[in-house]
Amino acid sequence: MRDWIEGDNINYDYILRYIRDTLPQREGLLLEMEKYAEENSVPISQPESIRFLEIIIKIANAKRILEVGSAIGYSAIRMSRAAEGEVTTIELSEEMADIAEENIKKAGLSDKIRLIRGDAREILPQIDGEFDLIFVDAAKGQYAEFFKESRRLLKKGGIMVSDNVLYKGMTATDELLVHRKITLVRRLRAYLEMLKENKDFSTALIPIGDGVALSFKKI
């Protein structure tokens, strides 16, 4: 159908190259983390997607952030720096959590980022308080389950960002759908339909990275 510069990005390669040329250069720890993720096939947010998220955080003046899916701690570190606030992040994999914890320590953000180990479906019901922004970037097929508690934890006027919702373009068209991803894609489509129909939220789909759903909690 078309060629991508990456398998997990929905944009044409020339658009992606141009956008990335406009982004601030990463260096130090962030660059090391990006290289580690690439070399070890660890999924982290696309550069343009995380930049978009940083700007949303600044516009919303978000100070309390919840992340579902830490991986190596890359997005938690960038969000914490953008917000100059506190981030609570949840990670299921013990291996990833160990790496994230070390990266957070290297970034000097151990007092700003709280990492919780375990299954978000079990942890989210145990969390209290309200968050200005919630970033969902864990198991794509479980987004609807994460939403059940995320909407409770998000304050009125808060923002929820769901990453990878267009999933290599498969969510948008069956022409790209591969058999082993049918269940995942069906769940993502159901999740987006649920967001669209939910009267408490206003949602826009943004075609950057692997697709981002930006949701605003009205009440």
pLDDT at res. 10: 84
Distance CA 172, CA 187 (A): 13
pLDDT at res. 124: 97
Distance CA 83, CA 89 (A): 14
Cβ proximity of 141 and 184 under 8 Å: yes
Cβ proximity of 170 and 176 under 8 Å: yes
Read off the DSSP letter of residue 142.
Answer: G
Whole-prediction pTM? 0.93
Read off the DSSP letter of residue 206.
Answer: E
Return the H-helix or E-strand segment holding 130. none
pLDDT < 50 regions, the chain: 1-5
